[in-house]
Amino acid sequence: MDTPVKVKKGAGGRKGGGPKKQSVSRSVKAGLQFPVGRIGRFLKKGRYSQRVGSGAPVYMAAVLEYLAAEVLELAGNAARDNKKKKIIPRHVQLAVRNDEELGKLLTGVTIASGGVLPNINPVLLPKKTNESVAKESKSPSKATKSPKKA
């Protein structure tokens, strides 16, 4: 009275025709936004070593995600300081160069359209003498006018 159970072909090694489980990516398992599988594929295809462990792409994705988040946060702050809503390369440049650790990491990197940090050597600034300091403190509202040329 036993009826033979038909096994469906292409069931992926599973017995029976039950519902297939939804696959969960390694990025979701690790709680990351960066693609763990893609980074693993690049590590293998890049021939950086003969073998790549299963934890290496997860760790690398986590490090890259952290660095990207750090740079974007600082660049967003720089954009907000300049009263802009969009992050432009200038904001990334200001963020990276004003941060000690990121500046050290990206010391040899040129950011296109980033410009340079505003910096004037103190030697080039005009020297204040005692007389000019005394005059400025007495009448700060009056602006000194240059004499007209005859």
Q: Which residues contact 29 (CB under 8 A, 6 or more apart)?
A: none
Q: Taking all residues of the chain, what is their mean pLDDT, rounded to a whole number?
A: 87
Q: Of 91, 97, 98, which Cα lies nearest the Cα of 77?
A: 91
| Cβ–Cβ under 8 Å, residues 87 and 75 | yes
Rounded CA-CA distance 18/11 in Å is 9
Query: pLDDT value at position 5?
Result: 66
Query: pLDDT value at position 19?
Result: 85
Q: State the pTM of this model.
A: 0.71
Query: pLDDT value at position 116?
Result: 94
Query: pLDDT value at position 4?
Result: 67
**Strand positions, DSSP E, 1-150:** none
| Distance in Å from the first CA to the final CA of the chain | 124
pLDDT one-digit tens code per residue, 69-125: 999 999 999 999 999 999 999 999 999 999 999 999 999 999 999 999 999 999 999
pLDDT one-digit tens code per residue, 125-138: 998 887 665 666 66
Phi then psi dihedrals of residue 34, to 5 deg: -75, 145
